[in-house]
A and B are shown apart, each in its own frame.
Chain A
Amino acid sequence: MSAKRKTAAREIFALGAEAVVEGALLAGCSFYGGYPITPSSEIMEGMAERLPRTEDGVFIQMEDEIASLGACIGASLAGRKVMTATSGPGFSLMQELIGYACMIEAPLVLVNVMRGGPSTGLPTSPAQGDVQQARWGTHGDHSIIVLSATDVQDCLHMTVKAFNFAEKYRTPVILLLDEVTAHTREKITVPLAQDLEILYRLQPSMPPEWYKPFEETVRGVPPMPPLGSGYRFHVTGLTHDDHGYPTQKPDEVVAAISRQFRKIDQFFFDIQITDEFLTGDAEVGVVAYGSVARSAHLAVEQARERGIKAGLIDLKTLFPFPRAAVEGLLRRCRTVIVPEMNMGQISREVKRVNPGTSTVWTINRVDGHIITPKQILESIRKG
C-alpha cells in the first residue's frame, strides 16, 4: 500500500463519469451496488475495476436498480460510505427506497446521469428532466439534498461534496449530472485525499444503553454507529420515535418529521452552493446548472464583450433551492433567464422566489441537444 501511495496530485484525462469514480474513492466510498444503464454505466465499470483493489472495497452488480439502492442502504447501515449511479428509468425504480433512506436517515450518494425522457426516451442524449423528480420523486414529505456539476473537474469535487453532505447530515444526496457532463473527456487534477475535507458520520460517545438512534440533537443529526458495534437498535421505514420503534402518537410523529426537515433547513448556509460570475453589477441574469451552465458562462462573457451587463449564477446545489442567492440576482436584474434541457423545472423555483422585481424568461430544449451559448446570448441581448 505505502509503496503505491501517491505523493502528489495527478493530472488525468478523464470522462465526467471517471471523475465521479475518482471523487468517490477520495471521499472514502467503499461500497458500490449498481445496475448498468446508459449513460451512467462508465461510473459502474470504473467502480467495478477500482473498488476490489482498495482496502475494504465492495462492488456488487445487483439484479435491478431497486436492489442496487437496497444493497447500498444495507451497506450504509453497516457503516460504509456507499454510492450507486443510474439514469432516468433506473432512478424512477429507486424512488421508494430513496424515501426509505430519508426515513431511516441512511447516508448515501446517488448519481443520476440524466438522459432524455420520459420512459426510455433518448438513452444517449442529454437532458435535465429529472430535477423535480430528484426533489419530490419519493412519496411523502421529506427533505433531501440535490447537487449538480458543470464540468469534469466539478464532477470530482461535487462527488466529494455529496459524500460529505450525506455523512454530515445523515441523508441521501442525489448528484444530478447530464449525459454531456458524464461523457465529456477533459484534463482534470485529482487531488490527494489529505488535501480535501473528508467528513464521516458522527459516532455515539455514550454507552449503548443510553443511545437512541433517532434522538433530537442540536444539529438535528443523531450519531450513527455501524451495525454490529454493540449499539443494537431498530431501523424501520415506519414513522418512529427516537428509539426507532414505530409510533403513531401525533407528538412523536411531528417531532420525527420536523427534525428530518430541520437538520437540513438550518444549514442552508452550508449546503447551498452557487458559483456566481459577474453578478455584482448584472442587469440581465442567467441561472443555469450542469452542462448548460458552461454554455451560459460563455454567453455571459460574449454579452459583456458586447457591453451588456450580464451575470450568471451556476447552481451547484439545486435543492434545498439556493433562494438567497437567486433572490439577490432577481432583485438586481431586470430580466433573469433560465436555460435548461427540460420544459421548465428549475425555472419554476426561480419564479417561485421572484419577489416581483424581475421578469423570468426560460429557454427550454428537449430535443436531445445541448443549449448553445448562441441561444443564450440571443436571449441575453433581448433581455
Chain B
Amino acid sequence: MAEVTQLIHEYLRHDKKFPHVLCPGCGHGILLGSLIRSVHALGIPKDDVALVAGIGCSGRVAVYVDFNTVHAVHGRALTVATGIKMAKPDMHVIVVQGDGDALSIGGNHFIHAARRNIGLTVLVLNNFIYGMTGGQCSSATPLGCWSTTTPYGQMEKSFDFVEMTRAAGANFVSRGTVFHVKTLDKLVRQALVHPGFSLVEVLTPCHTQFGRKNKFKSPVDMYQWLKKAAMPLEAYEKLDPDKRAGRIPIGVFVDNHEPALETRYAAMRAKLAKG
C-alpha cells in the first residue's frame, strides 16, 4: 500500500504549508487523495489538469495539489471552468465545489452547465452544511437537521443533487462517499474520462459544523453512519420502498454518451470552415 501515500505526495505542493487547513476527520482530504489516484491511474499529465474550486472548505482543496489550480469566487467555479474548457477543450477541467457553492449560490450555473453538457468533471463535496462560515444550513441540509441558522430544525426540503443533475441533462451522474473509497476512486476515474458534464456527488462528513449539532459524537461516528447508510444503487433499487428510508444509494445513476458542448462547437466550426 505504501505507493498510495508516496504517490499522493508526488502530487502535493510541498512548498505549501502542511498539514492542510481542514479539520480532523474532514472527508475533503480523502476526496483529494481519490482525485490524485484517479488522475495518476489514467495517466493524465499534471499540466493537462485544471482544477477549479469554489469558496468554502472545498475551495481550499485546490491549493494543495500541483495542477493548474484556480480558486474562484463563491458559486462561480463552474463559469470559470466553462471558460477554460471552451478555450482549451483538450484540458481536463475538474471542478470541486461544496453543496452550498454548487446548488445554493451557484445553483443557476450548475443547472446550466449540466444542461449544456459541457465536458467538465464536477466533484460536489456534500457535507450538508456551510462549514467555513460556521455551520449555517445549506440547500443540502436535510429536513429537521440543526445548524446555526436553523436552531429549531431545518424546515426546508433539501436538494437531491443526483436527481437535479439528471433532470438538467448531464451525461454522467453518480454518487459516492468518502468512506467507500474504492468505489469513489472508480467513480472519479469514470467521471474524468466520460464525455460531457460528469458529476460525482461525494458525501463527506463535517463533524465540526454538522455532526456536533446533529447527535454525532465524533468524526468516526459520522463515518460509521456513512458506512451503514450507503448502499450500492443496484441493491437499493431491489429494496422494498418501505425500507429505503435512511438509506443512501451510491453508484452510477446516469450514463449517457451525448456529444459534449465543446464537441458540438468544434463540429460547427469545421462545417463553417468548409463554407
A100 vs B79: C-alpha distance when bound (angstroms): 13
A41-83 vs B, CB cutoff 8 Å, 1 = contact: the mask equals 0000000000011000010101110111111111111111010
The answer, among B71, B83, B88, for a CB contact under 8 Å with A70, is B83
Interface residue ranges, B against A (CB under 8 Å): 13, 15-16, 46-48, 50, 52, 62-63, 66-73, 76, 78-88, 91, 108-109, 111-112, 265, 268-269, 272-273
Selected A-B contacts with CB under 8 Å, 7 pairs: A66-B109, A67-B79, A100-B73, A228-B48, A234-B13, A234-B69, A237-B73
Which listed residue, B46, B66, B69, B79, touches A74 by the CB 8 Å rule? Answer: B79
A interface: dominant SS: mixed
In contact, B47 and A60 (Cβ under 8 angstroms): no
The number of A-B residue pairs with CB atoms under 8 Å apart is 132
Say whether B76 contacts A67, CB under 8 Å.
Answer: yes
Task: Kindly state the separation between the CA atoms of A63 and B66 in the bound complex, as whole angstroms.
Answer: 31
State whether the Cβ of A254 lies closer than 8 Å to any Cβ in chain B: no
Q: Which of A128-136, A150-158, A173-181, A238-246 contacts B (4 or more CB under 8 A)?
A: A238-246
A52-B265, A74-B80, A228-B50 are known; give 8 further A-B pairs, CB within 8 A.
A67-B82, A70-B82, A77-B83, A226-B88, A227-B91, A230-B47, A235-B71, A237-B72
Q: How far is the CA of A230 from the CA of B91 in the complex (A)?
A: 12
Interface residues of A (CB under 8 A from B): 30-31, 33, 52-53, 58, 60, 62-64, 66-80, 82, 96-97, 100, 226-230, 232-238, 243, 245-246
| Contact present for B109 and A63 (CB under 8 Å) | yes
Are A97 and B15 also in contact (CB < 8 A) when A232-B67, A234-B62 are? no
CB distance from A243 to the nearest CB of B (A): 7
User: CB distance B68 to A232 under 8 Å?
Assistant: yes
State the Cβ distance, B186 to closest chain A Cβ, in Å: 26
* CB <8 Å contact, A67 and B112: yes
Chain B residues with CB under 8 A of A73: 80, 83
B269 touches A70 (CB 8 A): no
Residues of A contacting B88 in the complex (Cβ-Cβ under 8 angstroms):
78-79, 226-228
Complex CA distance for A238 and B47, rounded to whole angstroms: 23
Q: Which of B47, B71, B273 has the most C-beta atoms of chain A within 10 angstroms of its own C-beta?
A: B71
Please, how many angstroms separate the alpha-carbon atoms of A324 and B50 in the complex? 44
Provide the bound-state CA to CA distance between A162 and B88, in Å: 24
Q: Is the CB of A74 within 8 A of B112?
A: no
Q: 5 closest Cβ contacts across the A-B interface? A: A74-B83, A70-B79, A71-B83, A236-B71, A78-B87
CB pair B82 A74 closer than 8 Å: yes
> How many Å lie between the Cα of A227 and that of B50 in the bound state?
7
Contact across chains for B71 and A77 when beta carbons are under 8 A apart: no
In the complex, A58 Cα to B16 Cα: how many Å? Answer: 35
The chain A residue with its CB closest to the CB of B92 is A228
